[in-house]
């Protein structure tokens, strides 16, 4: 992790990379199939969300013919890739990690800042640190996976397990909000020998293209990861209709994921086997504050969790439950004071804590939810406005509601909107049950208390309400190798990115038993008389 402090070489390097990228844009991004650029002439744009009159790149959209070529090319590359010695595959990913953290660090960050609206800190923890961690820890986890072998061999017998790649190809569908996820969704299946058709998010096309170039420079053979930007519904539908479709690795909306699951089920008779479905979708994440909590810490953690990267993290805080004793004794005042100090503006200006939301549809959706909350009787304590004249900027917003099932406590917004529900101190247990039953999501949550029994009580009640739970820490910021990430219910399949668990989903184990001593008799000892 680097800090980009004023006057530091890192800040200077990043600013120079942004300036250089500004001079050269818009870039042209091709489809990449079998290591060759493909240009269809059907062009779309990735806008700069902080300055939407400009676009970062134009990219060629895949046609049905091109998608077919990508699938067939991947399948042709499969046998050599999965047969490659493990240490050689690992070397490619370790080199890619070094390229990410070194040679391409500032360029990747600049693409993330301009194209996805992240400030320097958020770009660092994503495009540089987390992406490199995914690659390096991935190698460590796969080494551990391959080392898991039968503990017992009978006399004259050798048992072993081969962790085969899946039969067919993997479809990776990545989101806009994390450049690192763009690398991990195709990278994790490829690391264990799979070939991948990668459909990047339209709003992260350029940073994801840079990742593909890094994989190529690191030695990834042509065809192993096919880079296929294009219209999401058409590209994905064609891929999951193919008989050799073996797995979906997805991050995106719950609605889309459920639809894809249904579509895959409808295609089941077409496939060789049962496709693996791995997905992380949405969240309606909570902070539960106990009366014993440290107020300053709870406030500060809540501000970061709700408003870093404009609330556009799957793990972002959107539900805050505060006891009345703390709310009226300084929590509210501290919360509003801290939020009032947040500036919103271009992420190229290092002073801003918040930047733009990703695009016009997101801007309209967020403002629409704020209006719905007002109409339902919610009180806007701060923010509640936006300006899309230059970029898609929404002010950090806090809504106070007396309705525990109000729309902004139930539905995912994916923006800088925090809804507060104040409960009576005696209702701590009741409030924990309320949190558990309010939404269909179960991704992240945090409990703030200096009372260990209160932490345990809420943790047990909320056992299935979050896949990642934090004590006296914000509900965002899972770190690869430290907090495996994922949730259940409507939030996904909880296969835990950033852990060994994910890799089990992209292998098909084969048990091998070898006998060294031949069998001389067919009868059993029990047959003797």
List the catalytic residues.
280, 314
Other CB atoms within 10 A of residue 300 CB: 15
Q: Which residue, chain included where needed, has tokens 């852990």?
A: 499
Q: 420 burial class (0-12, 13-18, 19+ CB within 10 angstroms)?
A: buried
d(CA 52, CA 147): 50
Query: Could you tell me which residues come within 8 angstroms of residue 477 by beta carbon, excluding any fewer than 6 positions away?
Result: 125, 315
- At 255 the three-state DSSP class reads helix
- For the chain, the distance separating the N- and C-terminal CA atoms, rounded to the nearest angstrom, is 75
DSSP state for residue 268 in the 8-state scheme: G
Residue pair 297/472 in contact by the 8 Å Cβ criterion: yes
In sequence order, the β-bridge partners of residue 488 are 442
Give the β-pairing of 36-38 and 31-33. Answer: antiparallel
d(CA 254, CA 232): 15
Q: 350 burial class (0-12, 13-18, 19+ CB within 10 angstroms)?
A: middle
Give the β-pairing of 43-47 and 55-60. Answer: antiparallel
């Amino acid at each position: 992790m680097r800090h980009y402090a004023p006057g530091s070489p890192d800040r200077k390097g990043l600013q120079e990379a942004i300036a250089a990228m500004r001079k050269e844009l818009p870039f042209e991004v091709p489809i990449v199939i079998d290591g060759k650029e493909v240009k269809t002439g059907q062009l779309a744009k990735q806008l700069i969300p902080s300055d939407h009159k400009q676009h970062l790149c134009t990219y060629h959209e895949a046609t049905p013919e091109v998608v077919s070529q990508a699938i067939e090319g991947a399948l042709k590359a499969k046998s050599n890739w999965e047969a490659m010695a493990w240490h050689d595959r690992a070397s490619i990913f370790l080199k890619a990690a070094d390229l990410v953290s070194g040679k391409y660090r500032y360029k990747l960050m600049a693409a993330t800042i301009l194209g996805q609206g992240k400030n320097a800190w958020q770009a660092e923890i994503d495009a540089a640190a987390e992406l490199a961690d995914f690659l390096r820890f991935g190698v460590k986890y796969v080494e551990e996976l391959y080392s898991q072998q039968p503990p017992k061999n009978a006399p004259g017998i050798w048992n072993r397990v081969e962790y085969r790649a899946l039969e067919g190809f993997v479809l990776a569908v990545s989101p806009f909000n994390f450049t690192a996820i763009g690398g991990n969704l195709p990278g994790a299946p490829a690391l264990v020998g799979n070939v991948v058709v990668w459909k990047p998010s339209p709003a992260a096309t350029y940073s994801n293209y840079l990742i593909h170039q890094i994989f190529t420079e690191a030695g990834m053979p042509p065809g192993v990861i096919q880079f296929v930007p294009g219209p999401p519904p058409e590209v994905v539908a064609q891929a999951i209709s193919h008989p050799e479709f073996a797995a979906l690795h997805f991050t995106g909306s719950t609605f889309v994921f459920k639809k894809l699951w249904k579509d895959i089920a409808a295609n089941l008779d077409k496939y060789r086997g049962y496709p693996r479905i791995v997905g992380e979708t949405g969240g309606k994440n909570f902070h539960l504050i106990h009366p014993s909590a440290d107020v300053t810490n709870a406030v500060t953690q809540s501000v970061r969790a709700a408003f870093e990267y404009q609330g556009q993290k799957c793990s972002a805080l959107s539900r805050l439950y505060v006891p009345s004793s703390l709310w009226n004794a300084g929590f509210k005042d501290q919360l509003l004071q801290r939020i009032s100090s947040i500036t919103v503006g271009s992420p190229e200006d290092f002073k801003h804590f918040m930047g733009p939301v990703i695009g016009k549809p997101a801007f309209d959706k967020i403002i629409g939810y704020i209006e719905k909350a007002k109409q339902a009787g919610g009180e806007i304590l701060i923010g509640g406005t936006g300006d899309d004249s230059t970029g898609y900027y929404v002010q950090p917003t806090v809504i106070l509601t007396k309705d525990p099932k109000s729309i902004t406590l139930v539905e995912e917004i994916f923006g800088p909107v925090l809804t507060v529900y104040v409960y009576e101190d005696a209702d701590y247990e009741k409030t924990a049950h309320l949190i558990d039953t309010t939404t269909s999501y179960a991704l992240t949550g945090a409990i703030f208390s200096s009372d260990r029994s209160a932490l345990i009580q809420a943790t047990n009640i909320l056992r299935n309400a979050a896949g990642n739970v934090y004590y006296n820490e914000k509900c965002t910021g899972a770190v690869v190798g430290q907090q495996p990430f994922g949730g259940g219910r409507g939030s996904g399949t909880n296969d835990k990115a950033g852990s060994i668990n994910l890799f089990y989903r992209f292998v098909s184990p084969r048990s091998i038993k070898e006998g060294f001593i031949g069998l001389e008799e067919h009868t059993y000892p029990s047959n003797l008389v």
